[in-house]
């Protein structure tokens, strides 16, 4: 099923971060502009519930993913964004007004506060976007999921909707400030996924299989090759300083397990 410009239901939520007015009129304007400037195809929009909470998990290739995915949705949406956006004077006001919840990606209590806010959005019955890879993939491959989305799904009882898009990297490659118009972009929404289909929601062993299964579905939708490393951790990904991680020395005689790289499974 494809979406049209008119298929949009605004949801007022004055108790949540973001401006109702900016979201209602700004997002409406943005949808018109995007549909006019790009050849946007939206598939599987029928997988988005008409009401109630859901977590949207897209692949992440370009800054403009955060434009194309929200404008493809028939409902208002909130999202987590890196708190570096809170430095620039434009983005500092504009992005939160659209519903961006800044997150401190060094982790800790500040990151937890952002996830708590995300939980409030879902508990209020709204849609929420979280990029499961945690950061943009600079290699173009689909990377291993962080578990935040899966844990949020358990905490709030919200399904995850895998999202795979194609074409955003060409519209705005890394380090390009502007978006190149006229190009085709496709956004595909997959069927809602529930952790109860993958194991006991109360058993922490269910989290990783669920997160992996979401990535599998995203790979089917985006056509990307999956690699079982985190985005930003491989030689091909230069976004390495996004998060600080601690490491323990590996035993000297231990051979690293080679991570197999292959085309999406069918």
Partner 1 sequence: MNIASIIETHDANRVAVIDRDNTLTYGELRERVASIRHLLVEHGVRPDDRVAVTAGNEPMFVAAVLGALGVGARVIPMTPNDPLPEVDRKLTAVDPKIILVGEEASWMHDHASGIDAPMIDLGSVSTSVATSPEIVDRDDDDIAIMMLTSGVSGNAKAAMLSHGNLAWAQAAVCENTIDGMGADDVVFGSLPFSHIFGLNVVLFAALRMGAQVVLQRRFDLGESLELCADRGITLLAGAPPMWRRWSTADVADAFATVRLAISGAAALPIDVFEEMQQRHGITIEEGYGLTETSPIVTSSRGDAKGGSVGRPVDGVELILVEDDGTIVDRGDAGEIIVRGPGIFKGYFDDEDATNEALTADGWFWTGDVGVFDDDGRVYIVDRIKDIIIVSGFNVYPAEVENVLLGHGGVRGAVIVGNTHVDTGETVVAYISGDVDIAELEQLAASSLSRYKCPTKYHLVEELPVAPSGKKIRRELR
Compute the distance between CA of residue 57 and CA of residue 210 in angstroms, rounded to an integer.
12
Token code pair at residue 183 = 């190009």
Token code pair at residue 127 = 């849609």
Residue from 87, 175, 178, 250 that binds partner 1 (CB under 8 A)? 250
- CB neighbourhood size of 180 (10 A): 13
Q: Note whether 50 binds partner 1 by CB under 8 A.
A: no
- Would strands 184-189 and 160-166 be described as parallel, antiparallel, or unpaired? antiparallel
Q: Note whether 201 binds partner 1 by CB under 8 A.
A: no
**In angstroms, what is the minimal distance from the CB of 197 to partner 1?**
7
Residue with tokens 């949801």: 11
Exposed / middle / buried, residue 248 (Cβ in 10 Å: 0-12, 13-18, 19+): exposed
Q: Binding to partner 1 (CB under 8 A): which residues in 101-120?
A: 107
Site string for partner 1, 205-244 (x = CB under 8 A): x-xxx--xx-xxx-------xxxx----x-----------
Q: Note whether 261 binds partner 1 by CB under 8 A.
A: yes
**In angstroms, what is the minimal distance from the CB of 129 to partner 1?**
19
Token code pair at residue 261 = 């790289």
Site string for partner 1, 129-158 (x = CB under 8 A): -----------------xxx--x-------
Token code pair at residue 60 = 């992440």
Q: Which residues bind partner 1 (CB under 8 A)?
A: 107, 146-148, 151, 197-199, 203-205, 207-209, 212-213, 215-217, 225-228, 233, 245-257, 259-266
């Amino acid at each position: 099923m494809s979406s049209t410009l008119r298929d949009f239901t605004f949801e007022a939520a004055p108790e949540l971060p973001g401006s109702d007015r900016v979201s209602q009129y700004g997002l409406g304007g943005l949808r018109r502009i995007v549909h006019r400037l790009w050849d946007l195809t939206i598939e599987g929009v029928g997988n988005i519930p008409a009401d109630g909470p859901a977590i949207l998990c897209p692949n992440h290739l370009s800054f403009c993913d955060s434009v194309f995915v929200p404008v493809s949705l028939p409902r208002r949406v909130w999202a987590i964004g890196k708190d570096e956006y809170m430095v620039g004077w434009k983005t500092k006001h504009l992005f939160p007004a659209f519903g961006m919840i800044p997150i401190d990606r060094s982790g800790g209590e500040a990151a937890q506060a952002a996830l708590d806010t995300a939980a409030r959005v879902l508990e209020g019955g709204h849609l929420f976007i979280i990029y499961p890879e945690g950061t943009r993939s600079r290699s173009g491959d689909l990377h291993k999921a962080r578990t935040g989305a899966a844990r949020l799904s358990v905490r709030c009882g919200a399904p995850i909707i895998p999202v795979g898009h194609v074409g955003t990297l060409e519209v705005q490659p890394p380090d390009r400030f502007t978006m190149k118009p006229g190009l085709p972009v496709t956004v595909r929404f997959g069927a809602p996924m529930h952790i109860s289909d993958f194991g006991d929601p109360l058993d922490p062993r269910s989290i990783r299989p669920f997160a992996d299964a979401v990535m599998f579905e995203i790979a089917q939708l985006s056509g990307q090759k999956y690699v079982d490393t985190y985005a930003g951790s491989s030689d091909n990904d230069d976004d390495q300083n996004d998060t600080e991680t601690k490491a323990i020395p590996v035993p000297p005689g231990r051979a690293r397990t080679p991570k197999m790289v292959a085309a999406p499974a069918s």
